[in-house]
Amino acid sequence: MTTTTTGSSALTGAVGTAHTRVEGLAKVTGAARYAGEIPFAELAHGWLVLSTVARGRIRSVAADPVLAMPGVLTVLHHGNAPRVEGDYMGPLGPPDPVLQLFQHDRVPYVGWPVALVVAETSEQAREAAEALTVEYDTEPHDVAFSAGRSGMHTPEGSAAGKGDLAAALAASAVVVEAEYTTPEEHHSPMEPHGATAHWDGGRLEVIDSNQGSRFVADELAKLFSLDADAVRVRSEHIGGAFGSKGTRVHAVGAAMAATVLHRPVRVVMTRRQMFTLTGYRSPTAQRVRLGADPDGRLRVLDHQADCQTSTVYEFMERSADFGRPLYDADAHHTVNRVVPLDVPTPTYMRAPGEAPGSFALESALDELAEKCGVDPIALRVRNEPVVGPLSGLPFSSRNLVACYEEGARRFGWADRDPRPGIRRDGRWLLGTGMAAATFPMLSAPSTAVVTAEADGTFTVRIAASDVGTGARTALTQVAADALEVSPERIRMRIADSSFGPAILAGGSMGTRSWAWAIITAAGELRERLALGGAVPPEGITVRSDTSAAVGALAQTQKERYTFGSQFAEVAVDVSTGEVRVRRMLGIFAAGRIVNPLTARSQFIGGMTWGLSMALHEEATRDQASGGHVGADLAGYHFAANADVPHIEADWVDDPDPDDPVGIKGIGEIGIVGAAAAIANAVWHATGARQRHLPIRPDRVLRAAGGAPGA
């Protein structure tokens, strides 16, 4: 037994200093094991079979011939699958009905799961799955998304506004009205969704690739009508998620098959299956109207954003929300509309709403700056609100102007000639552009368990997830400072649902919410240790639950956001229409930065997504079949190394003394506004507006009426 002290001198100050990742050595040596990589004795392999028609009913599943194939153990389908519950409320609302695996014969889109073939080896399972004949009675389908098409409606709570639109428009000296579109986009994390499920002493154990081990465990318990503590989900390492890794059908299928077969079953999606089974960002069609005085002061901000969902579940891409905290206007109206189609259900994807919404609104702002003859930054500064434009509430902190100023200084914006289409570098036309970024700062209740060990170390247990964000490392630093010890004395254990309730990694609120729980528990533990005495062999453990504190913060009503400014320089090939980004700079106001090394990576990663969104990403749907064309990483191109120039990201001070944590989220703001900054730069280079993403060479050439600058 030893006496533990929590450090007598000054704060260790781990927060705010660069730390390489706690799990870095495991990741660079290949030792880090992801969900599909934990060995199990007697492991069986499941292979999902997806519908090939877009609408109809399953007439028959010819399981018998497949069951006779070598190694095949079972074929689960709607004719024989165990019951799965669907009538419950999850933390994000009712469940997507796709999770009720194999419960009926209806097919609502191409790529709907219709069977799971399980065999001794993955080769056998794959061959059998491909051999399985499923017959359908088909019905006509409709997958054609367009602005304002039939069926487009405005769900309750998706519109917000103030002021008389017609009057404000009439009073506007300058009006910009334009339509913008963004395509269907896919998360495409490098690690395919995979899970291994098995029963262990009356408990369903699932090793799964997800963003929230507790979140998935709770959902699996509800789906299979089990007690909450009869399901344990672990997700030690996750190979990217970006919103796509909530509870997904592979985990449900693995749990179902493990229950039926009484042995461990692994189900890993193929890359192609991920395109229909893991969500995506809806295409959007957005109309923006801006009205302003000659000096650019906004009288009208009118943003209408249309998106699609499936016929089985309503998920909205809330693009029009983006402008609500950003600019004031006499008439300020934003509305999100949605149409159900015979397509898979979209979902949260990095900066849901803000990513496509910022493309439209920040492009329109640039068009207004051009019309008014006002510098794009000056225009934005002129329209900075003092309080929330719609709420009238104060901002908890708002350092957007500082982001503009620091970005402009470092990017060399002051020397910019605003005229478009006048800079040449050989065959390249050059231009620069900028845009604003914002994303809500959210918090959610979480619990943490912190133990002072007898050997002088501390163990932190929290059902947090590190999907590549660096959360494990950031939380280690937070815990070290909260306990006033060096990070080396912290053992950070995460991603195990048995550690207690915690918010999943999403909405840029993970690290903030988890840190809050850890700080709370650590504070109480320090008080206990300060009483003196020895630490017993089993240690001293304190549990925290931030439910009440999070609720109390919500009572102090404020507008809570992160902000940023995005800058880009592009070169446009005058003969091919190819756009190359030459440099990008992002300056963010995002609270206290815990780990500058990994935070910079996250900001730059988001900006890389913005580049990819601006120039490359586009999932194409075939109207005739209702399915994708080229649903793979060749057909769906996201930015490769050669597409990405040197990118810099940095931040300004963004203190919020009244906030109990001080940490804001940084996972999403990096993508916000980045595509608009690039589109605005393309206009500056060529003189032609690009209102449809991605900015493909054909679009650049068409906009120029042949060849840009020719």
Partner 1 sequence: MALSTSSAITLNINGEKHALPVDHRTTLLDALRERLDLTGTKKGCDQGQCGACTVLLDGRRTVSCLQLAVAAEGREITTIEGVADGERLHPVQQAFLDLDGYQCGYCTPGQICSAIAVIEEHAAGWPSAATADVRPGPEVPPLTAEEIRERMSGNLCRCGAYVSIVQAVARAAGAEVTGDAEVTA
Binding positions for partner 1, 234-273, rule CB under 8 A:
237-242, 268, 270-271
The single residue among 415, 555, 657, 710 that binds partner 1, judged by CB under 8 A, is 415
Clarify whether 668 is annotated catalytic: yes
Determine the interface stretch with partner 1 among 76-84, 164-172, 174-182, 643-651 (rule: CB under 8 A).
643-651
Spatial distance between the Cα atoms of 295 and 373, rounded to a whole number of angstroms: 8
> Among 1, 2, 11, 28, which residue interacts with partner 1 (rule: CB under 8 A)?
28
Return the residues of window 289-348 that contact partner 1 according to CB under 8 A: none
Cβ neighbours of residue 566 under 8 Å, at least 6 residues apart? 407, 434, 435, 436, 437, 584, 585, 586, 607, 610, 672, 673, 674, 676, 677
Instruction: For residue 705, state whether it binds partner 1 (rule: CB under 8 A).
Output: no
**Residues numbered 530-569 forming contacts with partner 1, rule: CB under 8 A:** 569
- Output DSSP code: residue 594: S
Nearer to partner 1, 247 or 473 (CB): 473
Peptide bond into 694 cis (omega under 30): yes
Nearer to partner 1, 323 or 605 (CB): 605
Question: 192 or 500, CB closer to partner 1?
Answer: 192
Q: According to CB under 8 A, which one of 8, 9, 29, 555 is a site residue for partner 1?
A: 29
State the binding string over 652-671 for partner 1 (x if CB under 8 A, else -).
Answer: --------------------
Contact yes or no for 628/619 (Cβ under 8 A): yes
The answer to whether 540 and 570 have CB atoms below 8 angstroms apart is: no
Q: Is 638 in the site for partner 1 (CB under 8 A)?
A: yes
Nearer of residues 147 and 644 to partner 1, judged by Cβ? 644
Closest listed residue to residue 416, CA positions, set 673, 685, 709? 685
- Measured from the CB atom, the residue of 266 and 289 that comes closer to partner 1 is 266
Task: Tell me how far, at minimum, the Cβ of 396 lies from partner 1, in Å.
Answer: 28
Least distance (Å) from partner 1 to the CB of residue 544?
28
Q: Which of 68, 634, 705, 706 binds partner 1 (CB under 8 A)?
A: 634
Residue 352 binding partner 1, by CB under 8 A? no
468-507: contacts with partner 1 (CB under 8 A): 468-470
**Contact indicator for 430, 423 with CB cutoff of 8 Å:** yes
423 in contact with partner 1 (CB under 8 A): no
Least CB distance to partner 1 at residue 472 (A): 11
Q: Pick from 5, 7, 34, 159 the residue near partner 1 by CB under 8 A.
A: 34
Q: For tokens 């660069």, what's the residue?
A: 18
Q: Which of residues 162-201 bind partner 1 (CB under 8 A)?
A: 187-192
Distances (CA, A) of 707 to 391, 636, 683, 703: 47, 26, 14, 9
Which one of the spans 9-17, 156-164, 475-483, 578-586 is the region binding partner 1 (CB under 8 A)? 578-586
By CB under 8 A, what part of segment 110-169 binds partner 1? 121-123, 127
The site that binds partner 1 (CB under 8 A) totals a number of residues, namely 74
Name which position in 3, 11, 17, 31 contacts partner 1 (CB under 8 A): 31
In the chain, the largest separation of any two C-alpha atoms, in whole Å, equals 82
Q: CA 348 to CA 689: how far, in whole Å?
A: 28
| Min separation Cβ 667 and partner 1, Å | 11
Residue 414, phi then psi, degrees to nearest 5: -60, -30
Alpha carbons within 13 A on the beta-carbon side of 311: 16
SS3 657: coil
Residue 304 vs 595, nearer CB to partner 1: 595
The minimum distance between CB 89 and partner 1, in angstroms, equals 31
Helix (H) or strand (E) holding 176: strand 174-182
Q: Which of 53, 80, 50 is nearest to 64 (CA)?
A: 80
Task: Out of 118, 285, 448, 607, name the contact with partner 1 by CB under 8 A.
Answer: 607
Which position among 234, 281, 332, 600 is part of the footprint of partner 1 (CB under 8 A)?
Answer: 600
Q: Which of 5, 37, 402, 456 binds partner 1 (CB under 8 A)?
A: 37
- Give 618 or 659: the residue with its C-beta nearer to partner 1: 618
Alpha-carbon span 443 to 291, nearest angstrom = 35
Per DSSP, helices labelled H in 116-212 are 122-131, 165-170
Based on the shown chain and the rule CB under 8 A, indicate whether residue 428 belongs to the binding site for partner 1.
no
Is there binding between residue 605 and partner 1 (CB under 8 A)? yes
Q: Rule CB under 8 A: is residue 583 a binding residue for partner 1?
A: yes
Residues contacting residue 15 through CB under 8 Å, at least 6 positions apart:
477, 478, 481, 592, 594, 595
Query: Binding residue for partner 1 (CB under 8 A) from 292, 467, 615, 704?
Result: 467
Based on CB atoms, which residue is closest to partner 1, 338 or 377? Answer: 377
- Shortest Å, Cβ 273 to partner 1: 11
Q: In the set 6, 23, 331, 540, which binds partner 1 (CB under 8 A)?
A: 23
The answer for residues whose C-beta is within 8 angstroms of residue 619's C-beta and 6 or more apart is: 183, 184, 185, 186, 275, 280, 628, 631, 636
* Planar angle of CA 359, 365, 368, nearest 5 degrees: 140
**Pairing label, strands 298-310, 620-621:** unpaired
Taking the C-alpha atoms of residue 283 and residue 355, their distance in angstroms, rounded to an integer, is 12
The residue range among 34-42, 89-97, 106-114, 533-541 that interacts with partner 1, by the rule CB under 8 A, is: 34-42
Q: Which is nearer to partner 1, 108 or 470 (CB)?
A: 470
In DSSP terms, which residues pair with 14 in a beta bridge? Answer: none
33 forms part of the interface with partner 1 (CB under 8 A):
yes
Give the integer Cα–Cα distance in Å for 392 and 390.
6
Q: Can you read off the two tokens belonging to residue 138?
A: 């088909």
Q: Candidates 125, 206, 579, 647: give the one binding partner 1 (CB under 8 A).
A: 647
Nearer to partner 1, 544 or 598 (CB): 598
From CA 654, how far away is CA 708, in angstroms rounded?
Answer: 42
Q: Which of 4, 15, 22, 36 binds partner 1 (CB under 8 A)?
A: 36
The catalytically annotated residue of 317, 406, 484, 668 is 668
CA distance 435 to 567: 7
The one among 291, 352, 577, 606 contacting partner 1 by CB under 8 A: 606
Q: In what order do the strands lie in the sheet with 174-182?
A: 159-162, 331-341, 298-310, 284-292, 174-182
Among 59, 419, 646, 702, the residue binding partner 1 under the rule CB under 8 A is 646
Among 94, 294, 412, 655, binds partner 1 (CB under 8 A): 412
Record the tokens describing residue 645, joined without a space: 């120039």
78 versus 582: smaller Cβ distance to partner 1: 582
* Distance between first and last Cα of the chain: 81
Nearest distance, CB of residue 34 and partner 1, angstroms:
6
Indicate which residues carry an active-site annotation.
Answer: 668
